[in-house]
Amino acid sequence: MFFRKLPGVSASGMGLRLSQKFVFLLFLSGLVTLCFGALFFLPDSVRLKRIFLSKTDNPPVTVGSENGVRDHTKKTIRDPEHLRGITPGKGETSTKLKSLSRKPSDAYEARTAEKTAESRVPEVLNQARGINEAGRARDAATAPEKQTASSGRVEHSPAFDYEKFKKCLLKPPLGTEQGKPSDPPTLQRRDKVKEMMKFAWDNYKRYAWGKNELRPLTRNGHIGNMFGGLRGASIVDSLDTLYIMGLMEEYNDAKEWVENSLDLNTNGEASLFEVNIRYVGGLLSAYYLTGEEVFKRKVLELGEKLLPAFNTPTGIPRGVINLGSSGTSWSWGWASAGSSILAEFGTLHLEFVHLTELSGNPVYTEKVMNIRKLLNKIEKPHGLYPNFLSPVSGNWVQHHVSIGGLGDSFYEYLIKSYLMSDKTDEEAKRMYYSALQAIEANLVQKSPGGLTYMAEWRGGLLDHKMGHLACFSGGMVGIGADDGAPEKRQHYLDLAAEITHTCHESYSRSATKLGPEAFRFDSGAEATATRLSDRYYILRPEVIESYMYMWRLTHDPKYRQWGWEAVEALERHCRVEAGFSGIRDVYAASASHDNMQQSFFLSETLKYLYLLFSDDELLSLEDWVFNTEAHPLPVIRRGCLQEQEETPPQ
């Protein structure tokens, strides 16, 4: 009745065809559902996940150029997103990648590349398991708080005793008279650095309060996409700097914002590295310096959100994590074959050990010790650690080695893990000196002009380039000089001084007296940037960091003088009406500004300058190590804490 009868086709024949169509449609719908599910659960299908997962106010995380964490990077890796469109090949992320520390690098010299799939079948199975494991990991992270079946009350692990911790410090954190230097000229210079910090902070507060960073030329805030919806990066990064400088009104404003406005319940895609070094490091440091419980509470909540990044077949965390309830993680789209970055997964140890200290939960230490266990197991080419490692297979993906972006803070954290353990972590010590020996044998070079530098290694071929991020290594080699073989102490101090001198030359050979992002030692060039894309300066701290360490180790007045030259250059070329800005070309007499006051300028650059012009007892190196974002973390004196527990109260 509803279907017109076709000539020559019986009613029964039509009924058969309808049945066939129904079966076919049922099969087709099942096939579509199966394909959809398979695509959705592929661990590296980042674009598909972004379509179906909850959206945030921020665009997806993208990283464009390599150099860094750090940054950082560092520094891992910090690829200045404000340089997009200024220099060819620069990406859009402001990483230290110290890497993104170090300090999150040639501000990630990477070319935005399509992710190359590894073997999908085992990874899909592991990802499916990982969905359930993410829930178990969150349960494990809260293990110290177990529900008592009978009463329903929460049973907490023993609380961290802040007063006992303070008694284990050899010196007061702020030293005598807050580290005031005895000679008036040095005090005057320190006061100038303090004024620079207040100027930078006041303008951030006026024009960008609650945002991640200040754009001083346009006088507005910048959010970016590194932190997965977290806000106030400049606030959290500045807490300890404000406190040690005695800017208490500003510190109290920052503390109030953290207590009332730092929202950790975000659902965005964040750099594990950058969140760890800036937010986790900043909150830990603020707690240890002040004892304010709000910082402890916030950092433990945030630390738990990072644990699902470790849900991989090897336990090597992926670089990007959703901070929301899904806890999904994946590798950077530009990283070779979905690999994780050495400077990112190698720059977690200091902070995670302290998360265990404060929470009583061993899971944080277990996660980073698992990373170390894998690195000790696999073969290192010529004793070197390449920058890319597969979190699926646990094998190196490329044989590119750098002490600058992509690798830098991994080495820094080895020697600092040893120092932070009160020199009991013998494994970290062994790994550091073994790596340093390989670096000296393969990467350390001497230029025709007599400058010592660290080249990069690409599968056996040397690239005679040194990044600004690699200039932290002068300080690193210096602080480790006392703990290697006694007969090599002077050798390491000399090497540290030579590297620091080379990095100073990269500053002194520019028109602005500020150093470029990278400088070369080939084709007749010495400590100068030969490529237009390497000529920028984004307020980086690494050279000044080495000045500070070398001053404390040697008290050679040239390091304070070099630091003061940097202050004068920053004032002349980077200070604008509403803050400080990086510049596009250090060789141009007339500065062209990039309109970004990086949070690490407040956390690192100004802090290291302030310490350089302070008495050595201000944050004494006997009691404190600095994470790769310059956040001071205390040496853990286990024996001292145990003695206090065993001593009955008077």
Catalytic residues: 517
How far is it, in rounded angstroms, from Cα 312 to Cα 330? 10
Give every CB contact of residue 147 below 8 A, 6+ residues apart in sequence. Answer: 153, 154, 155
Dihedral sign from CA coordinates of 425, 427, 433, 436: negative
**CA-CA distances (angstroms) from residue 214 to 18, 217, 288, 581?**
66, 9, 27, 9
* Contact assessment for residue 111 and residue 88, using Cβ atoms and an 8 Å cutoff: no
Give every CB contact of residue 236 below 8 A, 6+ residues apart in sequence. Answer: 254, 258, 262, 278, 279, 282, 283, 286
Reference 110, options 73, 81, 79, 82; nearest CA is 79
Side chain identity at residue 107, one-letter code: A
The DSSP secondary-structure symbol of 278 reads: I
Instruction: Give the alpha-carbon dihedral of 291, 292, 295, 296, to 10 degrees.
Output: 60
Q: How many CB atoms lie within 10 A of CB 120?
A: 15
The token duo for 273 is 């590295």
**CA-CA distances (angstroms) from residue 233 to 201, 225, 563?**
12, 12, 26
How far is it, in rounded angstroms, from Cα 116 to Cα 97? 21
Side chain identity at residue 51, one-letter code: I
Helix then strand then coil, % of the chain, to nearest 5: 50, 10, 40
Cis, peptide link before residue 75, omega less than 30° from 0: yes
Give every CB contact of residue 462 below 8 A, 6+ residues apart in sequence. Answer: 443, 445, 455, 456
Give every CB contact of residue 271 below 8 A, 6+ residues apart in sequence. Answer: 61, 93, 95, 97, 100, 104, 226, 227, 228, 319, 320, 344
Dihedral sign from CA coordinates of 370, 275, 611, 176: negative
- 66 conformational bin, left if phi > 0, alpha if psi -120 to 50, beta if neither: alpha
